[in-house]
Structure 1
Amino acid sequence: MEMDGANRVQTHDLRTILSGDGRDFLVRNNGDKVNVGDLEGKTVGIYFSAHWCPPCRRFTPKLAEAYAELSPRGFKVVFVSADEDEASFQEYFSQMPWLAVPFSDSATRDSLDQAFEVNGIPHLVVLDGSTGRVLTEDGVEIVREYGTEGFPFTSERVAELKEEEAAAKRNQTLYSVLASPSRDFVIKSNGDKVPIADLEGKTVCLYFSAASYPPCAEFTPLLTKAYEELKNRGEPFEVVLVSLERDEDDFKEDFKGMPWPALPVKDRIIEKLPPYFELSTLPTLVVVGPDGKTLQANAAELVEEHGAAAYPFSAERVAELEEMERARREAQTLESLLVSGELDYVIAKDGHKVPVSELVGKNILLYFSAHWCPPCRGFTPRLIQVYHEIMAKDSAFEVVFISSDHDQSSFEEYFSGMPWLALPFGDPRKKSLSSTFKIMGIPSLVAIGPSGRTATTEARDLVEEHGAKAYPFTEERVEQLGQGMERDEEDAMEDESGEDGGDADEKEAAGEGYICEGDVCRRV
């Protein structure tokens, strides 16, 4: 390796780095040999990958698609395998249209790893075959984001594309977002085409979804309800599905139940939209206003909380909703939280119904938990201890268990060891409470004061750190604790010993839609 010029650009001699002891050729998957010298003057991608690597297997088809278009323009790829045996190499290489360093030449493969400091795969280094200059070591990211448009994968070309993106956003229209050179329509589930021109001038939500992902499956009915309400009102509104499903049959099965149109599955523009809108989660609901400009980067939470009332998703409407939410919190009572129609009770372990009215005026902890959740099972004994300590001093206190268990028997088994009350299993109030308090992980503990207003949504941390001393979980009490009330030695010993034993082995025991890590199971 040499460093070229003041900018310290890496250069390599292709013949040197790709040849081996007594070998000056590369191989094709049919066994043909190609002289390394044939790469001179080409743009050469050195592709570090392996069959055992799932991200590699996902990326290889994208690279192959780009290669098919760019190969006539002088782009060549050399596969450097990290497979563990010849059979795996041959199986993986059989799917590749490019060249490879022979698997038997492990010395060259190892030296390439070292030369380019490969710390993870897939990894794609692109070189100028004429000069040996490294054009980029971020080939994977460039191909993923820009495809063939990234060629020749130089920093200058990436800068041009970023400027084009910035200009596109400044001049964004609905047509520029949804159309492609060969398509000016979206499709209905029955196959009918809807001209994009018919959508212009409306508020359009782009629904990024994957049916196989549980949060999307949960969100779609909420969006459908809001969509139908807005359509019945005659609002100039539309939704367009941008499906990130890889399987066409899964897409069709999901799409057939949706009342809105979609981009055609596997349309090339679908790959460009997630980075364009900087997607970070699913579901995402991008709102494009009547002028074609983006109003909201993700209005999914607005729809979850407010439904059709969130329309037209403008900054002014969001401000109004925030003010309404503030007023709602000010007026919150225990009954407004726990009473819904005829559901005006919680239950004891024996099934006895306890009217919510009997809890009014007490300090209440709402305990979101589940039997399948290892961190929950670790925290529950601590909470039971604190519960008894508080009840011994103040009977105007109660805990209500809100279950995320998957079946009645798991709920009953878990609840049987608890000394407090609960919502019945499968109670619809659980969903509204989770939404109200934005419960994204369990165990979670929300403290409600005697007035019915929220004292804190972080009561779990207070219980773990201070135990019963944190009662009644108000800001004033937290301030007092912070001003010098330290934990006693017993609390410290309990905190140090923890209840995390075995959690690492139980990470896979999460409920559907959750991932358990450390001391929390979070929604995904």
Structure 2
Amino acid sequence: MEWKVTLSSKELKDQEEAARINQSVTSLLVHGSRNFVVSSNGNQVPVTELEGKTVGPYFSLCVHRACVDFTPKLLEVYEKLKAREESFEIVQIPLDDDEASFNQSSGSMPWLSLPFKDKKCEKLVRYFKLSTLPTLVIIGQDGKTVHPNVAETVEEHGITAYPFTPEKFAELAEIEKKREESQTLESILVSGDLDFVIGKDGTKIPVSDLVGKTVLLYFSAHWCPPCRAFLPVLTEAYEKIKATDDAFEVIFICSDKDQTAFDDYFAPMPWLALPFGVERKNFLSHEFKVKGIPILVAIGPTGRR
């Protein structure tokens, strides 16, 4: 007869606490008789070789849009750190269901990985209470968790976020605070020769003409049903406000895929727009952490959020 022991929630919590106290790279990555991770060329690399290094377990899904977008940025940081001979390594924690997709994706990456469908992957998801993808955990040289997820920081600051310590995060926060304090409408919208937005007939409106106004940046797209549903609501509010306050403007930031879609969607809008297809759109989406649309970002008369 096989006996199955069920632990109480208190016992499970005690086990988890003990695991965190005794956490090491080995306890995190080794499972059963498997005491290695896998390199991009398929070689087995002993987990013991990672002891004493800063290690980044990277939870990803090769078909997940956010992971697809983030991985090249992480790759750039990784290669720069390797070129500097930093004691840093990434270990991918694959969450894929399709082995062929995983092999194709991991084979093109220079870092290490747990084997496909390794049971440790699921355990680490629970252990780190994974709630979003991508997630890049940082394990310090002592084997303890330094940060539960630096993916957003890597995306925003790149290699300057290394070594991902609390001291580095405090330094970055201070830099960000100073940058926000000096922010103006022109620093947000102007880029090189692009120092204007456009009106209904394609007229170029200098950004300098909007300084001192309250400006809403309207991230939207014609292909997005919630955006189309929201448009008449925003139009009504815009017209009411403009009737009594001319120091107010909306600027449409388009996420459509071609000029025709932009033209058709912008046609009934009574406000201004950033020209379609300009690089500044990507900067604005990143700057204001636009993860979904429609979204409105309010910029006050001083040029600050």
| TM-score computed with the length of structure 1 as normaliser | 0.55
* 1:394 paired to 2:245: yes
User: Which residue is equivalent to 2:67?
Assistant: 216
Distance in 1, Cα, partners of 2:61 & 2:76: 19
Give the 3-state SS of the residue equivalent to 1:368 in structure 2.
strand
Query: Runs of 4 or more off by more than 6 Å in structure 1?
Result: none
> What SS is found at the alignment partner of 1:442?
coil
Deviation string 1:306-362 (CA, Å, 9 cap, x unpaired) is 111111111111111112111111111112111233433323344444332332232
- Name the SS of the counterpart of 1:441 in structure 2: coil
Instruction: Report the number of matched residues.
Output: 305
Counterpart in the other structure of 2:127: 276
Which of 139, 142, 162 does residue 288 from structure 1 map onto? 139
The corresponding residue for 2:292 is 441
- Structure 2: which 5+ runs fail to align? none
The corresponding residue for 1:359 is 210
What is the CA distance between 1:297 and its match in structure 2?
0.9
1:431 partnered with 2:285: no
Name 1:369's counterpart in structure 2. Answer: 220
1:413 corresponds in structure 2 to 264
Q: CA deviation at 1:153?
A: 4.8
What is the rounded CA distance, in whole Å, between the counterparts of 1:355 and 1:306 in structure 2? 30
RMSD after superposition: 2.1
Indicate which of 335, 348, 356 corresponds to 2:186: 335
TM superposition shift of 1:204? 1.2
Q: Structure 1 residue 154 and structure 2 residue 11: aligned?
A: no
Distance 1:399 1:173, change over 3 A: same
- Residues 245-256 of structure 1 aligned to structure 2 (within 5 Å): 245-256=96-107
Q: CA deviation at 1:253?
A: 1.5
Distance 1:182 1:350 in 2: 69
| Residue 161 of structure 1: how far off its partner (Å) | 4.5
Residue among 54, 62, 67 paired with 1:203: 54
1:319 aligns with 2:170: yes
Per-residue deviation at 1:407?
Answer: 3.6
What TM-score do the two structures reach when normalised by structure 2? Answer: 0.92
- Once the two structures are overlaid, the 10-residue window that deviates more, 194-203 or 316-325, is 194-203
Aligned to 1:228: 79
Once the two structures are overlaid, the 10-residue window that deviates more, 379-388 or 198-207, is 379-388
Listed as ranges, the matches of 1:84-99 within 5 Å are none
The equivalent of 2:161 in structure 1 is: 310
Aligned match of 1:451: 302
Q: Distance in 1 between matches of 2:132 and 2:277?
A: 27
Q: Is residue 301 from structure 1 mapped to residue 156 from structure 2 by the alignment? A: no
Separation in 1 of the partners of 2:32 and 2:122? 15
State the Cα deviation string for residues 402-432 of structure 1 (Å, max 9, x = none): 1222443322221111122222333332233
For residues 421 and 239 of structure 1, what CA distance do their matches in structure 2 show? 45
Task: Give how far 1:267 is off.
Answer: 1.5
- Inter-partner Cα distance in structure 1 for 2:207 and 2:23: 52
- 1:71-101 alpha-carbon deviations (Å, 9 max, x no partner): xxx3xxxxxxxxxxxxxxxxxxxxxxxxxxx
Q: Highest relative contact order (Cα 8 Å, sep 6+), 1 or 2?
A: 2
CA distance in 2, matches of 1:422, 1:259: 41
Shift of the alpha carbon at 1:206?
0.8
Q: Partner letter of residue 259 of structure 2?
A: Q
What residue ranges of structure 1 are gaps of 5+ in the alignment? Answer: 1-41, 43-73, 75-150, 455-524
SS in 2 for 1:246: coil
CA–CA distance in structure 1, aligned partners of residues 226 and 284 of structure 2:
21
Are the structure 2 counterparts of residues 348 and 322 from structure 1 closer, same or farther at C-alpha, using a change threshold of 3 Å?
A: same
Question: In the aligned structure 1, how far is the partner of 2:40 from the partner of 2:277?
Answer: 33
Which secondary structure does the structure 1 equivalent of 2:188 belong to?
helix
Bigger radius of gyration among the two: 1
Distance in structure 2 (CA, Å) of the matches to 1:153 and 1:349: 71
Query: d(CA) in 2 for partners of 1:440 and 1:343?
Result: 25
Please state whether the residue corresponding to 2:302 is helix, strand or coil. coil
